[in-house]
Amino acid sequence: MTRKPVRQSPRLVPESVTEPPAQRALVSAPDRSAPIPSAGEAHPHAALDRGAMASLARLTAGLSPHAMIDAWSDWAMHLSRAPGRQMELLERAQADWLKLMQYSIARLKDPTAAKPFHPGPYDTRWSHAGWDKVPFTHWQQGFLAVQDWWHTATSGLRGLRLQNAQRTGFMMRQLLDTVSPSNFPLGNPEIIEKTRQTGGKNLMEGAAHFIDDALHVLAQEHRPVPDEFALGRVLASTKGTVVYRNDLMELIQYSPSTDKVRAEPVLIVPAWIMKYYILDLSPENSFIRWLVGQGYTVFCISWCNPGADQADLSLEDYRKQGILQALEVINAIVPGQKVHANGYCLGGTLLAIAAAAMARDQDDRLASVTLMAAQVDFAEAGELLIFLDESQVAFLEDMMWAQGYLDRPQMSGAFAAIRSEDLIWSRAVRRYYLDEPDLPTDMAIWVSDTTRMPARMHSEYLRGIFLENRITAGRFAVEGRVIALKDIDVPMFVVGTETDHIAPWRSTYKTALFTNCDLTFVLTKGGHNGGILSEPGHPNRHYRIGRRAPASHYIGPDGWLAATEPKPGSWWTEWSDWLSAHSGDLVPPPAMGAAEAGFPPAEPAPGVYVLQT
C-alpha cells in the first residue's frame, strides 16, 4: 500500500518556453525556487560558506545577525540626520518623566490615582493587586514609560524601511523584557507574597522546574503526550480508519455517526507545520467529530513528521502526493461524487494552489473550497514579516541545508517571541518563581507537539510564497505553467479570526480580491487557533458573515467590517448550512476504504504519523 512520492519540484516556467525574452523575464526572473543543493553539488567554497553560516545559525537560534545589524544601522543613520525627530524624542522623554513625577505626587494624596502608562492587551505580567502598591507601582510605571519612549523612537521615520523600524522596535521590546521588574523576585510583589506564604518552597520547586526544562532543551528531547491526553483515546479520538499511506501522509476516513450522509465527502487539509489533531482535540471541541455528526463523510490528511532523509521533499510533493493523491483515494471510495475541500492555515494555502491548478487543467473534482485562517497573499502577513528578508531566508536555508530540516525549537521560538511578554516571560515567572506548573490542556499539548519542516519545501515556501508573494503576483507555476486564483470557479468559504497574528484577517480577506467565484467570508472572534475552534455552545463567541456574488465589485476589509454586524454564536453552524446548500441528497454511508481499488482499511485512527516525534 506504500507509494513512494515522486520528487518533482514546481518550476517557474517549462524548459520549452518560447516567449520573447522580456515576457519570459517577467514570469521567471529571478528564479530562486531551485532546490537547495547538497554539499556534493555545490562548489567547495560555497559549501564552506554555508557550513559556516549553519554553525552560526545554531548559536543564534536561526536569527540572522546580519539582518539585525542592518536594521539598527538603518535606524541609527536615519535618526542621526533627523534633528526634528531628535527634538521630538527629547520632548517625549521630558513628557514621560513629568507624567511619572505627577503620578508619584498624586499617589501621596490618593492611592487610587490613575496610572499614566498601561500595558498592552497581551501583557498579563501586571495583573496582581500588588502592582498598585508602593514601591511596585512606581517600578512598573517607570518600566512602561521606557517602553513607551522606545516605541516612539522606533516608529516610522522618513526614509527608514518599515521592516527595519518594526525590527528595531521588536528587538528593543525583547531587550527591555529581560529587565522588567516583574522578572525579579525582589521586584515582583506576587513572588514576594508567594515566597512569604511558602517559606521559600516556591523558589526551590521553581529551580527544579528550571533545571528540568534546561536539560530537555539541551538534549533536544521531545516531551511525550501525558497519559490523560493520550492520542487516540482523549485527543484525536474520533473513530476512523487509515485508508491510505505513503511516505508523506496518511489519509484517515472517519466512521459515520448518522444513518445517512451527504452524497459529497469532505477532505480536510491541515497545515504541515503542526499535527492535524488541532481539528480533532477533545471530544467537546473536535471540529472533525462535530462535522461527522452533521452527516458528512469526512477524510483528513495526517502529514508525516519528516527527518533529514526527507530533506528533498518539495511543495509539489505535498500537492501531488498529498492533496491530489487523497482525492484519488476518495474518488475510489466515494465514486462519482465531487469533494468539498477544507484547508487550514498553510494547508489552506496549498489547497488554493491545488484548486487553481485543477481549475486551469479542467479538473472538476472539487465541489467547494473552504479556507480557514489561510492566506493566499502575503503582502500583509502580520508580525511574521518582521523576521523575513533575503538575509534571514538565506540564513535559514543554510541551517536547513546542514541538518535537512527546520527543527521544532527553531520554528516555535519565532511564534513565541511575537507574544514574548505572555508566552515567555509570564510563563517563566509562573513556573520558576511561583511554582505554578503548566496546567496541561488539549490546546497546550498540541502546541508543544511540533513537527519539522523539510529543507527544500520550507525554502520554496519562504521564498516563493512568503517573501516573493508569487501566488497573487502571477508568478507561481505548477508543472511549468503559472496558476491564477481567479480560475477557481467553485464556491469558496473563507474564515478569518479577529486577533490572528499569524494570518491576520485583513490578509485572509484579500482572497476576495484575487478571485471571481461565489465567496462567503466569515470573521470570527478569537486568534489563529482559538477562533477556528469555536464550537457551538462556546461562551462569549460572535462572528460576522457576508457573501460576495460572482464578478461583484471588490469591497475593502474596513468597508466590509463597517457594513457587517456581528452575530452571537459559532461560525460552525453557518458553515454547515453553507455546506448543505452546496451538497446533494442524503445517502447511505460509503464503505470504509476500497479494498477492490487497492485502498483497504489499514489501522484505526489516528494512525502512526501523528505519533512520530
Write down the pLDDT at residue 467.
Answer: 87
Residue of higher predicted confidence among 153 and 448 = 153
pLDDT in tens, 267-285: 999 999 889 999 999 999 9
Question: Mean pLDDT, to the nearest integer, of 247-259?
Answer: 97
Q: Is the pLDDT of residue 309 over 80?
A: yes
Measured CA angle at 508 (ends 549, 533), to 5 deg: 105
At 357, give phi and psi (nearest 5°): -65, -40
Write down the pLDDT at residue 412.
Answer: 55
Instruction: Kindly list the distances between the CA atom of residue 580 and the CA atoms of 259, 468, 573, 583, 591, in Å, as whole numbers in the listed order.
Output: 16, 38, 10, 5, 22
Q: Is the pLDDT of residue 4 over 50?
A: no
Q: How confident is the model at residue 16 (pLDDT cuts 50, 70, 90)?
A: very low
Write down the pLDDT at residue 417.
Answer: 54
What nine digits make up the cell of 554?
Answer: 471588490
What nine digits make up the cell of 118?
Answer: 498601561
Give yes or no: 300 in active site: no
Q: How confident is the model at residue 26 (pLDDT cuts 50, 70, 90)?
A: very low
Q: Is the pLDDT of residue 418 over 70?
A: no
Q: Is the pLDDT of residue 135 over 70?
A: yes
Sign of CA dihedral 118, 119, 124, 128: negative
Q: Pick the catalytic residue: 300, 304, 345, 517? A: 345
Measured CA angle at 369 (ends 363, 373), to 5 deg: 140
At 191, give phi and psi (nearest 5°): -65, -40
Q: How confident is the model at residue 20 (pLDDT cuts 50, 70, 90)?
A: very low
What nine digits make up the cell of 566?
Answer: 456581528
Rounded Cα gap, residues 8 and 315, in angstroms: 9
What nine digits make up the cell of 33?
Answer: 525556487
Write down the pLDDT at residue 34.
Answer: 47
Q: Is the pLDDT of residue 3 over 80?
A: no
Rounded Cα gap, residues 135 and 218, in angstroms: 38
Q: Please, what's the b/e burial string for 438-469 (b: 16 or more CB within 10 A of its CB; e: otherwise)?
A: eeeebeebbbebbbbbbbbbbbbbbbbbbbbb
Rounded Cα gap, residues 411 and 26, in angstroms: 33
Residue of higher predicted confidence among 394 and 549 = 549
Whole-model pTM: value is 0.84
Q: Which domains does the chain have, with CATH numbers?
A: 229-379+469-611 (3.40.50.1820)
Write down the pLDDT at residue 170.
Answer: 87
Residue of higher predicted confidence among 397 and 177 = 177
Q: Is the pLDDT of residue 36 over 60?
A: no
What nine digits make up the cell of 357?
Answer: 491548478
Write down the pLDDT at residue 75.
Answer: 94
Write down the pLDDT at residue 45.
Answer: 74
Q: Is the pLDDT of residue 312 over 70?
A: yes
| Range from 86-90, 377-381, 413-417 that averages highest in pLDDT | 86-90
Rounded Cα gap, residues 419 and 274, in angstroms: 19
Q: Is the pLDDT of residue 179 over 60?
A: yes
Q: Is the pLDDT of residue 391 over 60?
A: yes
Write down the pLDDT at residue 38.
Answer: 44
Rounded Cα gap, residues 262 and 444, in angstroms: 34
Dihedral class, residue 544 (left if φ above 0, else alpha if ψ from -120 to 50, else beta): beta
Pick the closest to residue 344 from 122, 515, 163, 575 (CA basis).
575
Residue 70: in which H helix or E strand, if any? helix 65-80
Q: Is the pLDDT of residue 31 over 60?
A: no
Residue of higher predicted confidence among 340 and 228 = 340
Residue of higher predicted confidence among 588 and 412 = 588
Question: Mean pLDDT, to the nearest integer, of 306-310?
Answer: 91
What nine digits make up the cell of 561?
Answer: 467590517
Rounded Cα gap, residues 111 and 134, in angstroms: 9
Q: Is the pLDDT of residue 43 over 80?
A: no
Pick the closest to residue 505 from 527, 534, 490, 488 (CA basis).
527
Strands (E), 382-502: 405-406, 453-454, 477-478, 481-482, 492-497
Residue-wise DSSP of 137-182 = HHHHHHHHHHHHHHHHHTS--TTS-HHHHHHHHHHHHHHHHHT-GG
Question: Mean pLDDT, to the nearest integer, of 554-568?
Answer: 96
Write down the pLDDT at residue 15.
Answer: 34
Rounded Cα gap, residues 472 and 470, in angstroms: 6
Q: Is the pLDDT of residue 40 over 60?
A: no
Write down the pLDDT at residue 421.
Answer: 57
Write down the pLDDT at residue 27.
Answer: 36
Residue 393: in which H helix or E strand, if any? helix 390-403
